[in-house]
Chain A
């Protein structure tokens, strides 16, 4: 019977750690947020639930237990769980808001530090938490009703139900457009922003959900122990959760859960190091010998898992796209060009400096709607920087950019993408750990479908939107002749196929203006010709293009106009014939050799 209670207690503990690992996995495995302070959510959840459910001071139960604490609301356990989730989510929102602007390194350190600050506050504010003493007598659900012998089993059942519900909910969320968006952000946030994705708010949501999950885990834990004190929430807890998640395989909730069971098994296994003969004498002289040895083993395990099992026990599996819909593939309708007679893009006096180098130095040109314009120039002329400035990936130091008459200078990449400017990158910035199909689906999914709510409740309208996007993805796959690769990971494609797929992502969105940065570089000649045929076809349907390209034959054959950049300025502008005959261009670009 004792053994049974021991085993059920351990399984409950493993489930609670599994829940923590799942919450962390949502933050890291999905959204790529490196949170080294996850224990803070666990802590505030535990305290919140304890304080909400404790009988108020002075009440009969308080006196009977001769308890000592200053605040207890005496609400039912369910209220405690809700309070725990709220506390975790609020803390996560606060951390996210403060550190939203921080890069990865800063975020890892900032979250680590904030968890320590939380622990310091919980330890010092004795009126709230009784500091180092902690609070005992935390009520246990149905504690008086169920016999002590079977209580462990009852609590295991309760834990399993709560963890199971959250698990199912998060798994569902992970497969919805919201989860897809998070995985895209993890792979390449900048490229997601250039597809119009509001990545900051999506990450904040992932943080908040992860925080709420951590809070609920805290509540489950504190009610199972009946005791809560600040010493339970030291940094090593965070890293045990990391260990569980990494052992299981990040990006995969089943893996996180499995990892937690392995973690608990190992952790309990290390308790038996005391049985090794000869250690007794040392342990007698130094009482911290054995506990420290266990932490050494856990630390070594952490190092070994990262080094030798980078994918974990259950690596993230490749998701299979649903079968192609039987209906005829439907292309995205080209977004109509803004009703303006003027130019679709006007660039004037654009400047960008990097230290002492003026990469773009007062460049200006105009794009007419419905044209294909080539942007050429020697290496270092500022072409790629120009594309970055136009698409908002970098902020110009001066000058203006107008899209269909509207000033878009200095807007964020996602705002510019929404206004109808799409772009590709010189090295295609795909989502390498997602399939070809998923790459297209992320690009083509309207924002309203990527919300949290849309992930939790599906509706007929949302299913229709998903089907419409899937149909468009089929059309793009067929058009680019890559339908046979739909379930391949984007990271395993060849250079040319990546270029095709990054054009395909823009075809999912069909913005009126697309900037292509070297679409044919590294692509074999036949494929490059095909690629430009597709561009010409899209152009016939109304899309305007600005193309940076070194392959002169393609540029001369397909472009209506050519802009030549040299040393950050526009050197010449005109039709291919004019450019071919321009002495200055020949001097600067072709080095006079062709003349």
Chain B
């Protein structure tokens, strides 16, 4: 009984992680660096959604509009701060992304204050399935997460943009020779990455019921675990990694020790990395 409920919660949390991880890993595939400011897309998504809902927009529209806004912000941030450093190797990009994370997180705190806000989700009665109470929120999260991942799958598989993104991820030089404008692919990638991140942030706000300036930065660690577990740069790996990490965290918190749920994410991660240094779906290092 508890086990099945834990599974449901684990899958829902896993869905949130998976969506966020896909956003992070998509950007990695094209740009080749891990964006430490990715967590701020989650935070911004949740806060914009909160703000727009507060202005009277229905929650669904507030969420979609928030994701679009964050997508555009993602492109602007990348153009202003990452693009000039693209030719300078890994470290400047990593450190800059950390700097952006601090700036954005603290700007949010300057405007909104440190205290968490309640996410304005209407109260919902849990569904009773064969004697097991499944909260509707968890099902909604899982549904949205699966839909988002399906959308990413369709994007990568069947659209020209998706094919170009995969081409650039495979071999940037070759893609350029083939006439793919890396400029536009880069913009599109940042847009999609930030948009998905914002969506993940909104889902995270639903699971946590609260919205706080440091939520994205804290969650980043778990997202990293999922990305590395799946194999960096592999969107499908990130999906699997996210679900596994979510399950591990909920199961660990229920059956082993509640206050170590973050640590469990890393126990799983480290175990996998020792066995397979490039993750489950072995990306290109």
A: which residues have CB within 8 A of B?
34, 36, 98-99, 101-106, 108-110, 112-114, 116-117, 120-121, 124, 236, 239, 242, 246, 286-289, 292-293, 295-296, 298-303, 306-307, 310
Closest 5 CB pairs of A and B: A299-B102, A302-B99, A299-B103, A303-B99, A292-B106
CB within 8 Å of A: which B220-271 residues = 221, 224-225, 228, 232, 257, 259-260, 262-263, 266, 269-270
What residues on A are CB-neighbors of B110 within 8 Å?
286, 288-289, 292-293, 296
A117 to B259, CA, bound (A): 12
A34 to B90, CA, bound (A): 10
CB within 8 Å of A: which B261-285 residues = 262-263, 266, 269-270, 273-274, 277, 285
What residues on B are CB-neighbors of A292 within 8 Å?
106-107, 109-110
CB within 8 Å of A: which B34-93 residues = 34, 36, 81, 84-85, 88, 90-92
Output the residue of A98, A99, A108, A114 with the most chain B CB within 10 A.
A108
What residues on B are CB-neighbors of A124 within 8 Å?
257, 259-260
Contact between chains at B273 and A102 (CB < 8 Å): yes
What residues on A are CB-neighbors of B96 within 8 Å?
302-303, 306-307
What residues on A are CB-neighbors of B90 within 8 Å?
34, 104-105
What string of 1s and 0s marks CB contacts (under 8 Å) between B95-125 and chain A? 1101111110111011001100000000000
What residues on A are CB-neighbors of B228 within 8 Å?
106, 109-110
Contact between chains at A239 and B266 (CB < 8 Å): no
The residue on A at minimum CB distance from B88 is A310
The residue on A at minimum CB distance from B217 is A235
Known: A117-B262, A242-B95, A306-B85. A299 touches B106 (CB 8 A): yes
What residues on B are CB-neighbors of A109 within 8 Å?
34, 224, 228
Contact between chains at A300 and B113 (CB < 8 Å): no
What residues on B are CB-neighbors of A102 within 8 Å?
273, 277
A296 to B101, CA, bound (A): 9
B: which residues have CB within 8 A of A?
33-34, 36, 81, 84-85, 88, 90-92, 94-96, 98-103, 105-107, 109-110, 113-114, 221, 224-225, 228, 232, 257, 259-260, 262-263, 266, 269-270, 273-274, 277, 285
What residues on B are CB-neighbors of A99 within 8 Å?
273
Known: A236-B102, A307-B85. A116 touches B262 (CB 8 A): yes
Contact between chains at A307 and B273 (CB < 8 Å): no
Contact between chains at B85 and A293 (CB < 8 Å): no
Contact between chains at A288 and B109 (CB < 8 Å): yes
Contact between chains at B103 and A303 (CB < 8 Å): yes
What residues on A are CB-neighbors of B102 within 8 Å?
236, 239, 295-296, 298-299, 302
- Further contacts, 4 of them, CB under 8 A, given A105-B285, A239-B99: A113-B224, A117-B263, A242-B98, A295-B103
Can you list 19 residue pairs at the A/B interface with Cβ under 8 Å? A36-B98, A105-B90, A106-B273, A112-B221, A113-B224, A113-B225, A124-B260, A239-B99, A288-B110, A288-B114, A292-B109, A295-B105, A299-B98, A299-B100, A299-B102, A301-B99, A302-B95, A303-B96, A306-B99
Known: A295-B106, A296-B103, A307-B96. A98 touches B270 (CB 8 A): yes
A198 to B114, CA, bound (A): 49
The residue on A at minimum CB distance from B218 is A116
The residue on B at minimum CB distance from A102 is B277
A410 CB → nearest B CB, Å: 18
The residue on A at minimum CB distance from B220 is A112
A124 to B270, CA, bound (A): 20
A303 to B91, CA, bound (A): 12
- Select B94's contact among A34, A113, A117, A307, beta carbons within 8 Å: A34
A288 to B114, CA, bound (A): 6
The residue on B at minimum CB distance from A28 is B91
A101 CB → nearest B CB, Å: 5
What residues on A are CB-neighbors of B257 within 8 Å?
124
Contact between chains at A303 and B84 (CB < 8 Å): no
B257 CB → nearest A CB, Å: 8
A303 to B81, CA, bound (A): 8
What residues on B are CB-neighbors of A114 within 8 Å?
266
What residues on B are CB-neighbors of A101 within 8 Å?
273-274, 277
Known: A121-B263, A296-B106, A299-B103. A310 touches B92 (CB 8 A): yes
A98 to B266, CA, bound (A): 12
A561 to B221, CA, bound (A): 58
What residues on B are CB-neighbors of A103 within 8 Å?
277, 285
A116 to B261, CA, bound (A): 12
A160 to B221, CA, bound (A): 37
A102 to B274, CA, bound (A): 9
The residue on B at minimum CB distance from A298 is B102
Contact between chains at A286 and B113 (CB < 8 Å): yes
B17 CB → nearest A CB, Å: 14
A121 to B33, CA, bound (A): 29
The residue on A at minimum CB distance from B225 is A113
Known: A110-B273, A286-B113, A299-B103. A239 touches B263 (CB 8 A): no
What residues on A are CB-neighbors of B263 within 8 Å?
117, 120-121
The residue on A at minimum CB distance from B259 is A124
What residues on B are CB-neighbors of A295 within 8 Å?
102-103, 105-106
B221 CB → nearest A CB, Å: 5
Contact between chains at A108 and B113 (CB < 8 Å): no
The residue on A at minimum CB distance from B274 is A98
Known: A98-B274, A102-B273. A300 touches B103 (CB 8 A): yes
A112 to B269, CA, bound (A): 13
Contact between chains at B95 and A106 (CB < 8 Å): no
A363 CB → nearest B CB, Å: 26
What residues on B are CB-neighbors of A34 within 8 Å?
90-91, 94
What residues on B are CB-neighbors of A36 within 8 Å?
94, 98
What residues on B are CB-neighbors of A242 within 8 Å?
95, 98
Known: A102-B277, A306-B85, A307-B84. A117 touches B266 (CB 8 A): yes
A286 to B107, CA, bound (A): 12
Contact between chains at A246 and B95 (CB < 8 Å): yes
What residues on A are CB-neighbors of B270 within 8 Å?
98, 110
A228 to B254, CA, bound (A): 31
Output the residue of B33, B99, B262, B266 with the most chain A CB within 10 A.
B99
What residues on A are CB-neighbors of B33 within 8 Å?
105
A393 CB → nearest B CB, Å: 15
- Select A306's contact among B95, B109, B232, B259, beta carbons within 8 Å: B95
The residue on A at minimum CB distance from B92 is A306
What residues on B are CB-neighbors of A236 within 8 Å?
102
Contact between chains at B109 and A106 (CB < 8 Å): no
A36 to B36, CA, bound (A): 11
B266 CB → nearest A CB, Å: 5
B26 CB → nearest A CB, Å: 15
The residue on A at minimum CB distance from B265 is A113
A181 to B262, CA, bound (A): 38
A263 CB → nearest B CB, Å: 14
A131 CB → nearest B CB, Å: 10
A102 to B224, CA, bound (A): 14
What residues on B are CB-neighbors of A110 within 8 Å?
228, 270, 273
The residue on A at minimum CB distance from B214 is A234
Contact between chains at B34 and A105 (CB < 8 Å): yes
